Amino acid sequence: MGKTGFLERLQNGGSIVVAEGYIFELERRGYLQAGSFVPEVVLEHPHLVRQLYEEFVHAGSDVVLALTYYAHREKLRVVGRENDLDAMNRAALKMAREVADENDCLMAGNICNSAVFIHSDENTFLPTENIFKEQIEIAVELEADFIVGETFSCFAEAALALKCIQKYGQGLPSVITLSASAGDVLLDGYDTVDACKKLEEAGATVVGLNCGRGPRTMLPLLEKIKQVCSIPIAALPVVYTTSSEEPHFFSLTIPDTKERAFPLDLCSRMCSRKEIEEFGTKANELGIQYVGLCCGNSSNMLRIVAEKYGRTPPASKYSPDMEKHYIYGDKTKFRKEFTEDLMAVKGGKF
Ligand SMILES: [Zn+2]
């Protein structure tokens, strides 16, 4: 693909599959702390980050998104590691570039919600710009192919991120994604669909939604965005079952207790593979060109999206084939004792 692959692929109406969700996946594996969600793992266990980059590419990601999400000054301040900002960003980007080059993939730098920006307080704008600037400049230096600005709950912060990519990004393309709230209005009062249109008008290469909503509550909003925007649209939902009653992963509850599931018990609301299949199919039909999964992503789920977009990644070698299962599969392939008879004799009802 090479460095121009990003625009070329999109100009031809093609698609780009992108794995996100590193933070939650590494927390699940026991190498990242829930709460701050700072990717200290980049410095403490770099081989695991490289491995996850490789794993997601194996599962169908066309992009190695550098794990610099929340590796910004404000988040590092919270965990007392501001002095590690440069090293952490460089390490994440360097490994991402290497894995991308080894696999003919693209590599993206990543900036995100600053945890500083307050739309009603202009005094927060410059500190936010500085947060974006220092991460963008390192991403440019480490040869990112494009920059992702993601998970913005305010239009104004997303617009500032885009402006910073244009100002400090040496002409690199931009993907700007908003994190839609439970309603259709962003935290600073902008309608989410209108905000996407404004970001298009401001020069974003790709615009859309990531995080926050699961497939079922993100898709209706994507349909509206698709109607008003003419640039490629991005869609990277969380892998949790949201609904009209609980439209956002902050509003999900644990089935037994009805306590809030976010963030520690979101595992109780994971999407089924079927739901991700539906998402991949519908997103493709809708013409979503930049597609992936955010929090809750895992390789077996991303592979489904990639396959629904017509890909056959290396991991497709291991895509499910339940015909080979000794009880639920092709019964002619197994001894009867292990199929109907076993279930009948034991009174088993599976
Ligand atoms: Zn997310």
How far is ligand 1, taken at its centre, from the CA of residue 22, in Å?
A: 9
Contact 275, 281 (CB under 8 A): no
How far is ligand 1, taken at its centre, from the CA of residue 295, in Å?
A: 4
Residue 34's domain comprises 6-319
How far is ligand 1, taken at its centre, from the CA of residue 269, in Å?
A: 15
Mean pLDDT, residues 315-327: 92
Strand ranges for 214-266 from DSSP E: 233-236
Tell whether 108 and 146 lie within a shared domain. Answer: yes
Asked whether residue 233 is assigned to any structural domain, the reply reads yes
Comparing 55-64, 176-185, 250-259, 338-347, which segment has the lowest mean pLDDT?
338-347
Q: How far apart are CA 26 and CA 41, in angstroms?
A: 8
Residue type, 231: I
Q: Give residues whose Cβ lies within 5 Å of ion ligand 1.
A: 211, 294-295
How far is ligand 1, taken at its centre, from the CA of residue 150, in Å?
A: 9
Structure confidence by residue, pLDDT tens digits, 117-146: 999 999 999 999 999 999 999 999 999 999
Tell whether 327 and 305 lie within a shared domain. Answer: no
Contact 178, 196 (CB under 8 A): yes
Structure confidence by residue, pLDDT tens digits, 295-314: 999 999 999 999 999 999 99
Q: How many domains does the chain have?
A: 2
Tell whether 225 and 349 lie within a shared domain. Answer: no
Mean pLDDT, residues 272-283: 98
Question: Cα 78 to the chain's mean position, in Å?
Answer: 23
Q: How far apart are CA 151 and CA 114, in angstroms?
A: 10
Tell whether 222 and 305 lie within a shared domain. Answer: yes
- Three-state DSSP at 235 gives strand
The tokens for 318 are: 């291991």
Q: How far apart are CA 205 and CA 210, in angstroms?
A: 16
Backbone phi, psi, residue 315, to 5°: -70, -15
Q: How far apart are CA 238 and CA 85, in angstroms?
A: 27
Mean pLDDT, residues 225-252: 98
pLDDT level of residue 345 (50, 70, 90 thresholds): low
Asked whether residue 1 is assigned to any structural domain, the reply reads no
Tell whether 344 and 315 lie within a shared domain. Answer: no
Tell whether 231 and 330 lie within a shared domain. Answer: no
Length of the chain in terms of residues written? 350
Tell whether 310 and 336 lie within a shared domain. Answer: no
How far is ligand 1, taken at its centre, from the CA of residue 67, in Å?
A: 13
Asked whether residue 315 is assigned to any structural domain, the reply reads yes
Tell whether 139 and 194 lie within a shared domain. Answer: yes
How far is ligand 1, taken at its centre, from the CA of residue 36, in Å?
A: 14
